[in-house]
Amino acid sequence: MRNEPLNFNALVSLVEQTHQHFQEQAVKAVNISLTIRNWLVGYYIVEFEQKGEDRAHYGSKLLSKLAERSKHIKGFDERSFRNFRLFYKHYPQIQKHILKYFPTLSIRGSLTPESENTTVLVPAEKILNNLSYTHLELLFPIENSLKRAFYEIECIKGTWSVRELKRQINSLYFERSGMSLKPDLLSEITQNNISPSSPIELIKSVYAFEFLGLKTNDAVEENDLESALLDQIKNFMLEIGHGFCFEARQKKILIGDEYFFVDLVFYHRILKCHVLIELKVEDFNHQNIGQLNAYVNYYKAEVMQPDDNPTLGILLVTQKNNTLVEYATAGMDNNLFVSKYLLELPQKEELAAFIQKEISGLR
């Protein structure tokens, strides 16, 4: 404890430092608990597959059956269980730290992953303290343990965000490093061009929110422009868009083996169709309209009922004093329906004016 007298600025500094320290400790504690929980679930799945007395009864449908019985636990689905199993197999070093963090945890049997002969292993403590489970999910599909460890080390060293890790994997950073005459120089250049993420970002993942029983918008920062705009747009659509019924915000959908989130989902009782709204606080670009079109097609294939009309998408793009509103009408070849759609939805000009007004008010 301090003995010397404090001035006011020193007091403020101490309060801020104390808050930041214990906030980071809390974030790490939640991340470690979530990560070890998922590893243990993977272990229990593998143990059942190897030693379960009635494992033959479930066979290849084990994970789907388990997901059905576990659907009351938010975030547990077949894809999650498949990844938990991969996590257990690829990260045998985690077992050494389980009892360190959870000394009262009861574990049946022996924790011995199939990949125990893996030669390249980043220490479990480094993994648990520096990588969120969302980071790790990007690494599970990598079968090459050397390649996986390379990204773990680089990610930890540069405190990369999940988005940055994904970008580096997609840019073949590992392969480029192997081809470089001076891989240390490439690493230095790469790290210098990346803005490090803060420790608090470890907890800003959908997995952490689900693990804590929170909704993804329960802890959104108050000055978040995009979040505030979505709130206002939802209210606007319900008030002025006759026939709109609100279904979800940040609707979680699974396309292939990857999760995506639709900003706003409505069902229009007059048009008898879903209306998806995506907000991008940036200029219009083809990636934005392509993403919305993918969501529209997903709803057409997976959600739309036989008596529903085609799903509609509205893309809202904001940048400075310009507002662009794009209506995605892919697959709409019924001219009568298109006319009715244009009649029932808010006018583009009206919606654009509303968005611009909200942007001005929020800044």
Question: Do residues 53 and 167 share a domain?
Answer: yes
pLDDT digits (tens, 9 = 90+) for 140-157: 989 898 999 999 999 998
In this predicted model, which residue has the larger pLDDT, 60 or 117?
Answer: 60
Question: Which residue did the predictor score with more confidence, 204 or 236?
Answer: 236
Task: Tell me whether residue 323 is in a domain.
Answer: yes
CA distances from 328 to 9, 90, 270, 293, 315 (A): 54, 42, 19, 7, 7
Same domain, residue pair 352 and 269: yes
Q: What is the mean pLDDT of the chain?
A: 78
Angle between helix axes 225-240 and 348-362 (nearest 10 degrees) is 140
Instruction: Single out the residue in 208, 236, 263 at which a domain terminates.
Output: 208
Residue 334, domain CATH: 3.40.1350
Q: Please give the share of the chain, as a percent, with pLDDT higher than 70.
A: 74
The phi and psi torsions of 261 (rounded to 5 degrees) equal -135, 120
Give how many domains the chain has, as a whole number: 2
Q: How confident is the model at residue 205 (pLDDT cuts 50, 70, 90)?
A: low
Residue 150 pLDDT: 92
Strand order in the sheet with 322-328: 244-255, 258-268, 273-280, 312-319, 322-328
Note the pLDDT of residue 188.
Answer: 83
Is 310 among the domain residues? yes
Does residue 173 register a pLDDT over 70? yes
Q: Is residue 90 part of a domain?
A: yes
State the residue range of the domain holding 152.
Answer: 8-110+119-208
The predicted-structure confidence for 273-302, as pLDDT tens digits, reads as follows 898 988 876 666 777 788 888 898 899 889
pLDDT at 320: 47
Calculate the alpha carbon distances from 341 to 276, 312, 332 in Å.
14, 9, 10
More confidently predicted of 358 and 85? 85
| pLDDT value, residue 333 | 47
For residues 49 and 340, give the distance between their C-alpha atoms in angstroms, rounded to a whole number. 55
pLDDT of residue 52 exceeding 80, the answer is no
End-to-end Cα spacing for the chain: 42
Beta bridge partners of 312: 275
**pLDDT, tens digit, 9 for 90 and up, residues 302-344:** 999 999 888 888 888 766 456 667 776 555 544 445 555 555 6
pLDDT digits (tens, 9 = 90+) for 218-259: 444 434 556 767 777 788 777 766 788 889 888 888 888 788
